[in-house]
Structure 1
Amino acid sequence: MNKTTAPTAVPFPRMLTLDEVQEILNLGKPLVYALVKSGELRAAQFGGRGIWRVRQDDLTAYINAAYAKTAERIASGLITEGDTPAEDTQ
């Protein structure tokens, strides 16, 4: 008897709205749009105008890259203790 196995389904990545990205990063909407427009944060437009989505793994990659870039700037002396504000403003 020949058993056939069903192909393993690849789950679709979780897609986030730009509002969800804004909330997760705690950033203003203009900055989130600027990150998408510059290509720094990978996103895709679906359907009509204004329907943007960011894959969760792309947001994770952006966050990890931001941490790595910050660590490099600190190590190279580009960011000093005096450069870090006590309270972030948006």
Structure 2
Amino acid sequence: MPRRFQTFPEVAEKLAASDQRIRALLRYGDLEGVQIGGRGQWRIEDVKLEEYIERMYAE
């Protein structure tokens, strides 16, 4: 069964960006994610990551 969500390091690697850049994208609403668990760890859904990438190509 394929995974549905990506972690910060996985997204950062795919976008060739730092964790701080990913946090900024989430904070400003450019990339959508969800906070889960008691520590509020962020996860980015595969679909949302692909939508972000497509928007960046379109721009």
Shorter-normalised TM-score: what interval? 0.7 to 0.9
Letter in 2 for 1:25: L
1:58 and 1:41 map into 2 onto residues whose CA distance is 7
Of structures 1 and 2, the larger Rg is shown by 1
Structure showing the higher helix proportion among its residues? 2
Distance 1:66 1:52, change over 3 A: same
**TM-score, normalization by structure 1:** 0.59
The gaps in structure 2 that reach 5 residues or longer are: none
Alpha carbon RMSD of aligned pairs, Å?
A: 1.7
Shift of 1:49: 3.0
The gaps in structure 1 that reach 5 residues or longer are: 1-10, 70-90
Letter in 1 for 2:57: Y
- Counterpart in the other structure of 1:31: 21
- Counterpart in the other structure of 1:49: 39
Identity %: 37
Letter in 1 for 2:10: E
2:40 and 2:13 map into 1 onto residues whose CA distance is 18
Structure 1 runs of 4+ aligned residues shifted over 6 Å read none
- Counterpart in the other structure of 1:64: 54
Structure showing the higher strand proportion among its residues? 2
